[in-house]
Structure 1
Amino acid sequence: MGIFQEFRQFMMRGSAIDMGIGVVLGAALSSFVDSLVRDILLPPIGLVYSRMNIENLHISLSGRTYSSLAEAKEAGAITINYGLFISTSIRFLIILFVVFLVVRQMNRWKKPHQHPSDSMTNKECPYCCLSIPNRAVICPNCSSSLEKKQSAERTTYPRLKIK
């Protein structure tokens, strides 16, 4: 098989297309969150901190004082731009939270009939003593039937034959 046929199969498999869509959506989400942080969230925070632009916060390593980061860069000063770091950190946390919400919703759509707490509760198989899902009827580990046979006196389980 030629390299172009292999590449075509790789592209058509779906994972490459899904990855491309994810990159495009990620870039769109990033620019949206960037605008949200820079234009909506940071100005009120700067207003609270005595009418300053947070992105202008910096420390000049040359010892001189500059009124803005742009002025320091124009003068060629070496600066530690902790205001830009704060802004980028806020953007990162918002993007992380949005991705969490999307993944959480996708997981809900995959299993609409299953409540999250159902998957977390387990019981112990009476035969092999391993943890199994609460609603299991047959143990996935030892293949034992977990339905109890009720007798008048006690609950009995089929015996395992050991050779």
Structure 2
Amino acid sequence: MNRLLLLVFGFYLMTASLTLAAPSADVASAPSCHHCGMDRDKFGHSRMLIEYEDGSTVATCSLHCAAVELATTIDRIPVKVSVADFNSRKLIDVDEAVWVLGGSRKGVMTAKAKWAFAERSSAEKFIQANGGNIATFDEAIKAAYDDMYQDTKMIREFRKMKRLNLKEVAH
């Protein structure tokens, strides 16, 4: 009897952990960023989802890539833009999010981090630990556009170094 209970409990733990580890629906349907190809599950805390009036969606890993998308598709009208809450990874509306700009924590696709939080108290707690400033979505996306040149330059250099390292390993 004890073995049976142990077996059932073990099976429950295995299946429960698989359920908890399952990616969100938006990550399952778009596992990589539309612009840079990065893994959206790995960067689930910064991912974004843009829904257009024609019903199509574009999934990105970060505000940087979402800003690229919004700038290059000027004739498409977004009807909903969502961002992951930094802590829970659940998608929330960008205008309802409390944004944190800057701080000591490394950003995704940017030198100046831009994080979104569902609750102001969570953003303030993050700032106490990591620094940064509270912002609105308009301020966050403006910062993304202001940082675009330097961030793109940084990303190109990083990818160049990565290619060189791969060539060295291949020899």
Q: TM-score range by the shorter chain?
A: under 0.3
- Which has the higher relative contact order, 1 or 2, with Cα contacts under 8 A spaced 6 or more apart? 2
Could you say which structure has the larger radius of gyration? 1
Instruction: Give TM-score, length-normalised by structure 2.
Output: 0.21
Instruction: Give TM-score, length-normalised by structure 1.
Output: 0.22
More helix by share: 1
